[in-house]
């Protein structure tokens, strides 16, 4: 099977790893992972999460890369091409279409939260965290949520930053961006870790994150861990497939995926350990604060420690970088499609799709203030509805389809051809996991994501 056409391939070693890790490492790692760990009892949850990364995340990520790289095209055209080659129904192209749509939806609300990190980085630099207490910190955050104009401004800026990188192209934009942003992100994370070891309650934090108590293992925690393993590795929506199209053929898929999964997990764990070390070192605040952990609890810790001003700024700049390298991957599948299918210049393609996403995001901005009472899906506000549709339905559904398609539909010779750099063991292990274990596990996520809501509606 020939590639569709001459296609850009990232020449520099490591670019794919940096880009995929950039996509994976984001608000999911630094904002969400620590607070869901805090809410679900620490160590037991971390263990479940690691299991899900190994059994669901890694096999599906390999499948996505393989599909993108085999067809050397954006997810929509890649799935169409592979269907034709495999003699499979055109229905499978749903993978590509749904992926592009999911990317637009996720970007629409992701950039609202990412926008908050811009405001918080400025607040940290301005010294606004100094002497914060639980109440004043909550008031600071509530002030931001109530100010729709301010939130709109940051949401718009984040989308503009995303468009700017994509408009510059696959090499000058995407590849160059991840090549400086990712190393900087790692340096900032190491600074944080160093400071947490020196000044924070590091050992208490380690004990909290890694001490395993059987009674803490709950079925609900397991479901959350499964759903999160998907979101955090950017799976199920074609982001990794789109990047796979730029990956050199000589690179080993198996090794690459393991590196990306390890880096993604390490960032989540290190960020979590550092955050809890700061939180435990500050009297009067607790680790189980939920979504407010990063925007309410943590600033209190920063505002009451020695080098809090510097460390607070380092932290929020790091989160901005992490979110930025994720938002570009959310829009890339659609931009690549418009460019490759219709010859639309990437500048116009990214402007067009970025604007659509910005527009869909307006509802998320207002759902924290003017529209907070408005209910969309089953009693959820606009923001939660978007998050639910994209994260709980579209990503797992995309994941199941990708696993089934690569597991059952793609012929062995295609897969073997592309996995020629892998060991026989990788192949022998990977295919059955992809055929059986991953789809079943993801179906469980999907069922558990939708069923409670449906049941609530039916009972009403
Ligand atoms: N993986 C990103 C995070 O953890 C989110 C993301 C999901 C990015 C899907 C791209 C695609 O924040």
- Phi first, then psi: give them for residue 289, nearest 5 degrees: -80, -5
- Helix pair angle (15-24, 176-199), 10° resolution: 60
62-71, 210-219, 384-393: segment of lowest average pLDDT = 210-219
Q: Residue 289: which of 29, 31, 28, 26 has the closest Cα?
A: 31
Q: Is 344 exposed, middle or buried (0-12, 13-18, 19+ CB in 10 A)?
A: middle
Q: Which two tokens stand for residue 34?
A: 């620590």
The whole-number pLDDT of residue 450 equals 75
267 with 196: CB under 8 angstroms?
no
Q: How confident is the model at residue 3 (pLDDT cuts 50, 70, 90)?
A: very low
Q: Residue 271: which of 23, 19, 25 has the closest Cα?
A: 25
What confidence tens digit (pLDDT) does each residue in 304-351 have? 888 888 999 999 999 999 999 999 999 999 999 999 999 999 999 999
The whole-number pLDDT of residue 377 equals 77
Residue having the nearest C-alpha atom to atom 9 of ligand 1: 234
30 with 116: CB under 8 angstroms?
no
Q: Residue 103 Cα, ligand 1 centroid: separation in angstroms?
A: 9
Mean pLDDT computed over 283-306: 84
The answer to whether residue 117 scores a pLDDT higher than 90 is: yes
The whole-number pLDDT of residue 311 equals 93
The residue ranges of every structural domain in the chain are: 15-459
Q: Residue 412 Cα, ligand 1 centroid: separation in angstroms?
A: 30
- 3-class secondary structure, 372: coil
Mean pLDDT computed over 374-392: 86
What is the spatial distance between Cα 260 and Cα 244, in angstroms, rounded to a whole number? 13
Q: Residue 460 Cα, ligand 1 centroid: separation in angstroms?
A: 34
Residue having the nearest C-alpha atom to atom 7 of ligand 1: 234
The answer to whether residue 1 scores a pLDDT higher than 60 is: no
What confidence tens digit (pLDDT) does each residue in 407-460 have? 999 887 777 777 766 777 777 888 899 999 999 988 887 787 777 777 777 776
Q: Is 138 exposed, middle or buried (0-12, 13-18, 19+ CB in 10 A)?
A: middle
Q: How many residues does the chain have?
A: 460
The CB of 325 under 6 Å from ligand 1? The reply is: no
What confidence tens digit (pLDDT) does each residue in 128-147 have? 999 998 889 999 999 999 99
The answer to whether residue 5 scores a pLDDT higher than 80 is: no
What is the spatial distance between Cα 209 and Cα 193, in angstroms, rounded to a whole number? 15
Mean pLDDT computed over 10-34: 93
Q: Which two tokens stand for residue 237?
A: 């929506």
Residue of 107, 111, 232 best suited for mutating to test ligand 1, as the one with most atoms within 8 Å of CB? 232
- 3-class secondary structure, 344: coil
Q: Residue 250 Cα, ligand 1 centroid: separation in angstroms?
A: 26
What confidence tens digit (pLDDT) does each residue in 37-96 have? 877 878 888 888 998 899 899 999 999 999 999 999 999 999 999 999 888 999 999 999
What is the spatial distance between Cα 189 and Cα 316, in angstroms, rounded to a whole number? 11
What confidence tens digit (pLDDT) does each residue in 151-184 have? 999 999 999 999 999 999 999 999 999 999 999 9
Q: Residue 350 Cα, ligand 1 centroid: separation in angstroms?
A: 18
Mean pLDDT computed over 356-374: 94
For residue 342, count other CB atoms closer than 10 A to its CB. 9
The CB of 26 under 6 Å from ligand 1? The reply is: yes
Please tell me the CATH superfamily of domain 15-459, with its number: Amino acid/polyamine transporter I (1.20.1740.10)
In the block, tokens 């939660």 appear at: 384
What is the spatial distance between Cα 267 and Cα 23, in angstroms, rounded to a whole number? 13
Atom of ligand 1 nearest to the CA of 27: 12
What is the spatial distance between Cα 122 and Cα 88, in angstroms, rounded to a whole number? 52
What is the spatial distance between Cα 185 and Cα 182, in angstroms, rounded to a whole number? 5
Mean pLDDT of the chain, nearest integer: 90
The answer to whether residue 210 scores a pLDDT higher than 70 is: yes
């Amino acid at each position: 099977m020939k590639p569709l056409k001459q296609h850009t391939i990232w020449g520099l070693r490591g670019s794919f790893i940096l880009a995929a890790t950039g996509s994976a490492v984001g608000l999911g790692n630094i904002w969400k992972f620590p607070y869901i760990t805090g809410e679900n009892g620490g160590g037991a949850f971390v263990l479940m999460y690691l299991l899900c990364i190994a059994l669901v995340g890694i096999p599906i990520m390999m499948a996505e890369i393989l599909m993108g790289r085999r067809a050397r095209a954006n997810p929509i055209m890649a799935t169409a091409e592979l269907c034709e080659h495999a003699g499979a129904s055109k229905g499978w192209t749903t993978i590509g279409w749904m992926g592009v749509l999911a990317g637009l939806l996720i970007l629409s609300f992701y950039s609202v939260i990412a926008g908050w990190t811009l405001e918080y980085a400025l607040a940290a630099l301005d010294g606004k965290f100094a002497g914060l207490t639980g109440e004043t910190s909550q008031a600071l955050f509530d002030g931001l949520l109530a100010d729709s104009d301010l939130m709109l401004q940051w949401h718009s800026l984040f989308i503009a930053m995303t468009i700017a990188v994509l408009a510059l192209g696959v090499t000058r934009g995407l590849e160059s961006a991840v090549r400086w942003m990712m190393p900087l992100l790692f340096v900032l994370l190491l600074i944080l870790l160093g400071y947490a070891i020196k000044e924070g309650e590091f050992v208490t934090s380690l004990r909290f994150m890694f001490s395993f108590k059987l009674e803490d293992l709950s079925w609900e925690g397991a479901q959350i861990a499964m759903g999160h393993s998907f979101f955090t590795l950017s799976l199920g929506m074609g982001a990794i497939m789109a990047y796979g199209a730029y990956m050199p053929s000589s690179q080993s898929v198996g090794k690459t995926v393991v590196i990306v999964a390890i880096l993604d997990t390490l960032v989540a764990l290190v960020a979590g350990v550092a955050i809890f070390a700061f939180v435990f070192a500050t009297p009067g605040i607790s680790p189980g604060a939920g979504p407010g952990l990063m925007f309410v609890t943590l600033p209190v810790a920063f505002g009451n420690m020695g080098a809090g001003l510097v460390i607070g700024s380092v932290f929020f700049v790091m989160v901005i970088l992490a979110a930025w390298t994720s938002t570009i991957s959310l829009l890339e599948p659609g931009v690549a499609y418009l460019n490759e299918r219709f010859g639309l210049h990437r500048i116009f393609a990214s402007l067009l799709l970025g604007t659509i996403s910005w527009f869909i995001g307006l509802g998320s901005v207002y759902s924290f203030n003017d529209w907070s009472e408005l209910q969309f899906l089953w009693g959820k506000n606009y923001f939660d509805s978007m998050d639910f549709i994209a994260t709980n339905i579209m990503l797992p559904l995309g994941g199941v389809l990708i696993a089934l398609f690569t597991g059952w539909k793609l012929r062995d010779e295609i897969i073997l051809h592309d996995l020629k750099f892998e060991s026989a063991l990788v192949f022998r292990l990977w295919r059955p996991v992809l055929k059986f274990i991953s789809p079943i596990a993801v179906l469980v996520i999907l069922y558990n994501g939708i069923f409670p809501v449906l049941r609530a509606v039916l009972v009403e």
